[in-house]
Structures are given as structure tokens and as C-alpha cells.
Amino acid sequence: MRFSVYQISRKGGREKNEDRMGYCYTRESGLFALADGMGGHPEGEVASQLALQTLAAAFQREAKPALKNPIRFLQEAILSGHHQLLRYATERALVDTPRTTVVACVLQGKSAYWAHCGDSRLYLVRKGQLHARTRDHSYIELQESLSHVVPIDARFNRSVLFTCMGSPGKPVVDTVGPVPLLPGDRIIVCSDGLWSSVSDEVIVEMLTDRPLQDAVPDLVEEALRNGGPHSDNVTLLGVEWEAVEDADSTVGISTRTLGEDVFASTIQASISDSGAADLDEAEIERSIREINEAIRRSSRKPGN
């Protein structure tokens, strides 16, 4: 498996950053995920972090080195994260439960599988075209989808969701896959701070015309400019499938030399005390260097 990855998160005009992102991989499978803690509920940064931690722990447990059923894995891991949030609130006697959206993608074999709950999005761009995009779990998107069947006069704020992780009821989890991948396909997962400020057309254009390591930060900066001083948190993780390997690149990853028991992850093992801190690319590059060094050590072991 060969891919390039680049990820950035910025606080924008908010007091703290409640978005979290990260990826994990083994020799035969990769998980790329993003969660956006929801405002109006307590500890959004805890909700998004717990969601990713639960996904990463499940992936480490089940990808040996491939997942038996990626779609079932995504469904069960997201529901497990939901229950972790309910447990967290119960143990701390919180009046309300921390809540978060989530979008997660598995790359395995030569296919992609993804799932989402809420309005964090996945885009698949192929040869300059928007090949696939998730549909938000918002009332306004539901209204638009049903308008040709049942006209609805009510007006909804785009940020009002009908499902999320941590909600009182069982969350709705939409899944897609397997979707066959072609070399050069680009997949991004992003929070609403990006797509609410940058149109789908601009997202596709930037992902098509620029190298991944330029497109990702450029899109984030575009969203921050468009959002102005009150911009939401903006987070984006981009992946290019079967990108040409570059030995000097910090974003290109090949898993072919990995041992079966090797698991690499950029997802934090615990919630930091400064949960609102920006996640900058220097931190990501340090993590990737550490992962690549672990890969090299593994490949030098006898029998690998």
C-alpha cells in the first residue's frame, strides 16, 4: 500500500480548537479520521479526542494486518465511540453529554470504505472531478433531499444536526464501500469550518491543480480568509492514493516493508492538558519521522 498524506488544523477565530484528526496504518490497511466537537455542549475537544482514540484502538486491535470487514468495523467503532462518550458523561455526572461529529475512511486492498455521522465531510476527487461526497446529517440537507417529494416550508440553520456521537439516541452512521481506487485519487476529510467557507468547486480545483502538500494548507488558509475574524475551527486531512514515492518526502508512505505486527498512528494516546492548542504541520512531520524510523527498524528485523 502506498499513499501520501498531509493534515492541518487551525483554531480560527474560536477560543479553542475542538477539531481532532489523525491516521493509523498497518501493512495492508489505513484508517484516516476526523472529528469535530460540537459547540453548545460541554467539552467538545474531549468528545472529538475520545472518538478518534476509540477508532484508533479498534483499528489496532482488528487490523491484523487487514480488517476482515471494513464497513462493519467502521459502524461498530463509531458506535463504540458513542458509548464511550455516554460513559464519560455518566462517570463525571455531567448534565449534558459531550458530542462530536465524525468521518472516517479505510483504505485497504485497492478500495476505499468510509462512514460518517454528522456534518464532517469526505470528498473523493478523481481526474479533476468530484467523484463522491458525503451528505450532511443536517436538517437543511434533509430538507433539500426531500423537497421534490414533500415540500417543507421551515427554514433551518445549516449547523443544526439530527444526529451525532454522544446524542441521547443511537447515532445514524452512513457507510459507503468498497469504492475501487485509481492511482492519483485524492480523498480529504474535513470539518465544516472548511466546507462552509470554501465551495465544492474550489475544493476540487485546488485538489486537482496543486500538489497535495500545497493544496491542503492552501485550502485551510482560504477557509480562514473567507471566514474572517470569527472563522470556525478549520481542519483538513488529505490522502493521495498510490502517489509516486519520494525518498526525501515527509508525506509519502509505503507500507510494503512493514511487519505484520507493526501499527503506526498519529492519533494522540491521551488528551493533552492544552486541548485547545493548534495542531501544526511541524508536529505532524515529527510524528511521521518517528513512524518512518519505526518502519525502518522493523524492516531490518530478521524475517521481515
Residue 244 half-sphere exposure toward CB, CA atoms < 13 A: 2
39 SS3 class? coil
Q: Which H helix or E strand runs over 129?
A: strand 129-133
178: buried, middle or exposed (CB in 10 Å: 19+, 13-18, 0-12)? middle
Asked if the bond preceding 65 is cis, omega within 30° of 0, the reply is: yes
Taking 70 as the pLDDT cut, the residues of the chain under it are 141-159, 243-251, 268-304
Query: 125 pairs with which residues across the strands?
Result: 130, 186
230: buried, middle or exposed (CB in 10 Å: 19+, 13-18, 0-12)? exposed
User: What is the reported pLDDT for 160?
Assistant: 76
115: buried, middle or exposed (CB in 10 Å: 19+, 13-18, 0-12)? buried
User: What is the reported pLDDT for 302?
Assistant: 52
User: What is the reported pLDDT for 258?
Assistant: 87
Q: How far is CA 258 from CA 57, 184, 219, 240, in A?
A: 19, 23, 32, 20
User: What is the reported pLDDT for 4?
Assistant: 93
What is the distance between the alpha carbons of residues 34 and 69, in angstroms, rounded to a whole number?
A: 21
| AA letter at 117 | C
- Alpha helix ranges (H) inside 10-138: 44-62, 70-91
User: What is the reported pLDDT for 143?
Assistant: 54
| Residue of 53, 49, 56 lying closest to 16 (CA atoms) | 49
Check: CB of residue 85 under 8 Å from CB of residue 47. Answer: yes
Check: CB of residue 188 under 8 Å from CB of residue 238. Answer: yes
| Residue of 102, 211, 223 lying closest to 165 (CA atoms) | 102
Q: How far is CA 272 from CA 21, 50, 59, 171, 233, in A?
A: 14, 12, 22, 27, 18
User: What is the reported pLDDT for 39?
Assistant: 81
pLDDT in tens, 121-153: 999 999 999 999 999 998 776 655 544 444 555
pLDDT in tens, 216-273: 999 999 999 999 999 999 999 999 998 544 444 445 788 888 888 888 999 865 444 3
What is the number of H-type helices and E-type strands within the chain? Answer: 7, 12
| Terminal C-alpha separation, the chain | 16
User: What is the reported pLDDT for 47?
Assistant: 95
Tell me, letter by letter, the H, E, C secondary structure of 83-99: HHHHHHHHHCCCCCCCC
